Amino acid sequence: MKTLFIHADFIEYEARKKTKLAEEISDSQKHNRVEEVLVAFISFETRDEGKEEAAAKALVTNIEEIVGKVEAERIVLYPYAHLSSSLANASSSIKILHLAEDILKEAGHEVYASPFGWYKSFNISCKGHPLSELSREITADDEAAEDSDLSDAVKAEEKMKSQWFVLDVEGNEHSLELDAKKNKVKGYDFADNINLKKFCQYEMAKSRISKQEPPHIELMRRLELVDYEPGSDPGNFRYYPKGKLIKNLLERFVNDEVKRTGGMEIESPIMYDFEHPSLKSYMNRFPARQYTIQTPDKKVFLRFAACFGQFLMMHDATVSYKNLPLRLYELSRYSFRVEQRGELAGLRRLRAFTMPDCHSFCADLPQAKEEIEDRFELSRTVLNDIGYDIPDGLEFAIRVTKEFYDENKDFVMGLVKRWNRPALVEMWNERFFYFVFKYEWNFVDCLDKASALNTDQIDVENAERYGITYVGSDGEKHYPLILHQSTSGAIERLIYSLLEKASMDSQQGIKAQLPFWLAPTQIRLLPVKEEFIDECLAIAEKLPGRVDVDDRDISVGKMIRYAEKEWVPLIIVYGDKEKESGQFMVRVRGAEEIALDIDALAVLIDEKQGKMPFEPLPLAQKLSRRITFRG
């Protein structure tokens, strides 16, 4: 069947005239008005015939998923033949319609079935949020197929119960409770840490659905950085030249830092055999949904992390205890996860992403702890240099089994003290996943949604699962502990969080901007007359940095406004006065104008660029030569 779901303020319909296929209804069923409703427009298809019960269950599964996301109070099932050209017969359609109605009612939903086979008039008021219109193709086999491709860890994650508390820098545990109706957290005084409160509310509610469009989406499109790709699967994006520049620079910086600190870079495939024993076992321990593909030879899945390639490589390696700890690293372009439709939110949650994935292989727990502490400081350095305020700009989360926490509280507390601010702890009485401990640094955005940037985990399963061993000082083979670290988090998430941070700054009266080293144009020269264009181009050649020239036939005022809208960090108007004096009045974004000569300006640019990687302008130097990617 094909479906169109509308989350509506109301739907009002009236059955006007019977067709030959119409079901018999009473006069009271001919008219209805339902408010605060999810309306499911449904075309039942020939492939549903003979599978009515399974088709009804698959329909109900989809409806309940969407109802949970949009929090609709009521449901209307509305037969709608116009979504398909391959319609099921009337008896099959009516049976599916009312089976679904009965199942939903038994589950406690308030549900109404619009009459089948009648010409009807209707009025509907769509709510207009990002999830208010969804189309889906549903088959009788959907429910079973979806469940079969879900990992055991995903299923466990949906059912598991967590104990939550705030762990402060003095080692005190503050148990938390969530009032789900009011979305309020009790148990800790958040007066001095409102962002931590938002983070706790988001994590404890475990709702990843976005009902509003995050501000970074409008910014990434307006600045011509990134955009949706309608020709691809949802959650995949196109990068315009300026966005690709930013992505390249972030990738280069993180890559260089990991390799500088001992990460040995490798490359591995993006797809793997779905039936490979070690891989299939691991998939069931990883809380992610996979893309699966049927090739001419076998069923494969697209990797959701770079673990597979690194683990298979280490299986074949000869390793001594003298080699440990050992860091193996890949910048995965790309990793894939089938995030659910309502969870997709621009660059915050997407289906194809670039992940710096570094695994450390450690001889034992004491060595693993030292390695985590070392890589903790590496992440601090990397994220500070990218442009985050550590620790005030992020929130610290620890996820741990009770057994590990009880036996290693001093280690956990040591990390909280390193962070120097309270942390949210999620504790499990039993182990659901392959790890016993992980930490994350989370960014809380404009909509109070949280996203993990870096993370590190202690994996106690996969060495044995993949047959990864090292020869110890005793001459015997041992299984190492494996640490899973992403030093910075996904590159796309860095772009998302930097744009969200800029939006939050703007709301507080601070001019939105990117870090200088990531600004596509770092310096713009504005010639007051056409005769100064060549001089501006000559000056641009003498300056470090990405310098462009606005040579368009527009007023200087408009040039300044355009540069401001593009968040250009340094703007220079050039005319007779500047030519004669050799001094430029430099408009510094977010600060006061300063007078500099060309040498002092070059020094300022170098200071702002610092040690960060550099790439040249991604577009023509003259603005008149540039195309508009997005009108």
| All domains in the chain, ordered by first residue | 2-143 (3.50.80.10), 156-498 (3.30.930.10), 516-625 (3.40.50.800)
pLDDT score for 160 = 63
Beta strand residue intervals within 303-417, DSSP E: 326-336, 352-362, 395-401
Task: Give the pairing of strands 184-186 and 271-273.
Answer: unpaired
Q: Is 323 helix (H, G, I), strand (E, B) or coil?
A: helix
Q: Looking at residue 23, what DSSP letter applies?
A: P
**Cβ contact 151:287 at 8 Å:** yes
**Distance between CA atoms of 381 and 367, rounded to whole angstroms?**
21
pLDDT for res 244:
98
Provide the whole-model pTM.
Answer: 0.78
Q: Which residues contact 538 (CB under 8 A, 6 or more apart)?
A: none
Tokens representing 305 are 């992390």
CA 621 to the chain's CA centroid: 33
Per-block mean pLDDT, blocks of 10 residues, the chain (631 long): 93 93 91 95 92 92 87 93 91 94 92 94 89 83 49 54 94 91 87 93 79 88 94 90 98 96 94 84 68 88 90 96 97 86 81 94 97 96 95 96 97 97 95 92 94 95 94 97 96 97 94 97 97 97 97 96 97 96 95 95 97 97 95 66
pLDDT of residue 142: 55
pLDDT at 195: 94
User: For the stretch 482-501, what's the b/e string if a residue is b when 16 or more beta carbons lie within 10 angstroms of its beta carbon?
Assistant: bbbbbbbbbbbbbbbbbbbb
